[in-house]
Structure 1
Amino acid sequence: MLEHLSQTCLLADPNNHCARIWDRFEDEVPEWTFVVIPFLSTADSRHDFFVVNDIMEFIDDALEGLTFLHAQGIAHRRVSPSTIRTDESPLYPGGFHPIVRWRLPDFTPRHAPSYSRSTARTRVRNYYTGFGDAVPGGPPEAFRADVAALGRLLDTYFTERYSRTEFLAPLVADMKSGRPTAAEALAQWRATRARTSWVGRMRRLPVRSDDESWVWVVLLDVFFMVLMLLERLPAPVRLRMSAISCLPENASWYGWG
């Protein structure tokens, strides 16, 4: 399945958010073939979602990728947090150790410089994996089940976990019902996204379990907004400010370490 989805003609599709095959080789056992794909992490394995835009970019990839799969006549059948994975390389400009994330690849006792999702210089991408149960040309119920599974994932990991995600409620409810197709859910999502301003996208995501006073909420919101504005400054200005603040040149204003 991955080989089919990694064809050059399909890789050119911007909605193809399926893991890419880097290489493949045969095993001594004729029935076995090994494929090499990028090192991908579960979406919430290391870096939390700090601002609303972090969630929005994840939903972009998840819905575009599912729409692409269904357009190819493929039902995934295992949509879950373990099968939608993240390429975290933009978050670690110097690389990272695959087991101990805060270490550099050579495991030297130094923190690996890191960015948050929203401050990374390159957009973080999310990919579908786990195609063991994928069915080409499956029954209509299989495609609806994919949409419902993704809706439940968004509900569990975003709307139930974070405040300020109420704008997702109509989309999530429709998807969980299994009524819309992936393409219809994507169209609904893009309409919702278009109504969200830049300020709305850059708002901090409080965890619902945190008991924050309104004063603390306001202070944190202002702090995060200032950081996001600083990240949009030209690189020379950021370097001068990093020198003043004693931060390393490649450090993010938050998400460092």
Structure 2
Amino acid sequence: MLSRRRQRQAEEKAEEVARLERSTLLLFGPRGHPGRQNASELWWCKHYQWLKDSGYLLRRRYAPDWVPSWQTSNTSWLTMGSDGAFVTLKLFKKSRLPYEIEIGQLFSTEPLSSDPANHCVLIYDVLVVPDEEDRAIIVMPLLRFFDDPPFDTFGEVIHFLRQIFAGLRFMHKQHIAHRDCMYLNIMMDATPLFSDPYHPQDLEMKRDYTERARHFTRTQRPPKYLFVDFGISRRYGPNDIAPLEDPIWGGDKTVPEFQQSNEPRNPFPTDVYYLGNMIRNSFLVAKAGFEFVEPLVKDMVQDDPEKRPNMDEVILRFEEIIKQLSSWKLRSRVINEQDDNILGFYRCVTHWARRFSFVIRRVSAIPTP
């Protein structure tokens, strides 16, 4: 049974799931105060009808006549239309992120969009805000962070690293430097993982907020990992193999060459650093058992950018590392920091049950689509 407080929260969350018209997409925006919209939400409220007319239905909270559910006596439990899809809308100023649209659309257009090595988020649509020429909205799939839910096995992490290494090399082959490919800008299309569509705000709950959303492991249902946020990315000519850019601070503030001076730098080795530092912090520091990738990561994060491997070299070395890993290692469980004794024991038991089943059925230790 849900508590009274949980019931009230569930009522509000359910009210936010509006019935969609054919080909209509839905946005779940940032959290706000349960009884009133905050300053950032008011912008979405003001543009609710324009977005609806454009084919995108915001959650009920942003409608002009919205009233918190507990202030009404006849709360409706609404469902989503079968032809609707949940998306993310990103509002930004074009003057501040001048390449967001250009580069995002490049990777979303043939022939690049269907290339298996392309791991850049797909841009569905671009909306120019009326009466605000400097503002635009890009429409993207609903994604979640690459490590949520947690990885189950080392083989699943290998599958993740293979994808992001291939994805960054693909960008570099197109003469594009991401310039901010750190933790927050690597996401996952988790659609294959979940048997129950998850709620876009409370990711552990089902979309109708009735219970927890159930999901498979990545071994059972391999997801696709994607780079997002191309606002400070840059595209260069095919002959500009060592371009120079003024340092620009993205989400990762630890780039060694930016600490040393303000001189223009080649952004491609900096991309390699970003990726290596993400791996160092997310796996080498946060979890045990990833020593096998440490030599490669150390080279990716060297202080001297000229000594870092390029992405071709990273992939070649990584594939050689994988060849040295046993099936036992690949199927071993990744221990997560949040596991307490009881939760850790439960996950260990369920992991071994799955592992035995996968071995019997010859399921690959490294997920395959």
3-state SS of paired residue (1:49): coil
Higher CA-based Rg: 2
Answer yes or no: is the 8 Å Cα contact 1:25–1:33 preserved in 2: yes
> 2 CA distance for matches of 1:220 and 1:101?
20
Counterpart CA distance in 2 for 1:129 and 1:2 is 9
Among candidates 272, 296, 311, match of residue 182 of structure 1: 311
Q: Which residue of 1 aligns with 2:138?
A: 35
Equivalent of residue 94 in structure 1, options 196, 213, 217: 196
Q: What's 1:63 paired with?
A: 165
Name stretches of at least 5 consecutive residues in structure 2 with no aligned partner: 1-102, 237-242, 245-264, 362-369
Q: Report the identity percentage.
A: 25
Secondary structure, aligned partner of 2:183: coil
SS in 2 for 1:191: helix
Aligned-pair distance for 1:12? 2.4
**The one of 189, 206, 221 aligned to 1:104:** 206
Residues 36, 232 of structure 1: CA spacing in aligned structure 2 closer, same or farther, 3 A cutoff? farther
Measure the CA separation in 2 of the matches of 1:103 and 1:222.
24
Distance 2:234 2:313 in 1: 21
TM-aligned CA deviation for residue 188 of structure 1: 1.0
**Once structures 1 and 2 are overlaid, which stretch shifts more, 75-84 or 192-201?**
192-201
- 2:294 is equivalent to residue 169 of structure 1: yes
Instruction: Tell me the distance in 1 between the aligned counterparts of 2:139 and 2:268.
Output: 28
* Whole-angstrom CA distance in 1 between matches of 2:349 and 2:325: 19
Matches within 5 A, 1:1-257: 1-28=103-130, 29-44=132-147, 46-107=148-209, 109-120=210-221, 123-137=222-236, 138-139=243-244, 141-177=266-302, 178=305, 179-207=308-336, 224-231=351-358
Unpaired segments ≥5 residues, structure 1: 235-257
Q: CA deviation at 1:223?
A: 6.0
TM-score (norm 1): 0.79
Quick check: 135-144 or 57-66, which moved more?
A: 135-144
Aligned to 2:80: none
Q: CA deviation at 1:82?
A: 0.6
Q: Partner of 1:126: helix, strand, or coil? A: strand
Number of aligned positions between the proteins? 226
Aligned counterpart, 2:36 = none
Larger helix percent: 1
Change (3 A) 1:211 1:92: closer
1:160 and 1:208 in contact (8 A); partners too: no
SS in 2 for 1:10: coil
Code of the residue aligned with 1:154 in structure 2: it is I
Distance 1:160 1:76 in 2: 24
| TM-score, structure 2 normalization | 0.56
Alignment RMSD (CA, Å) = 2.6
Summarize deviations over 1:24-46 as a string: whole Å, max 9, x none. 232213333322111111223x3
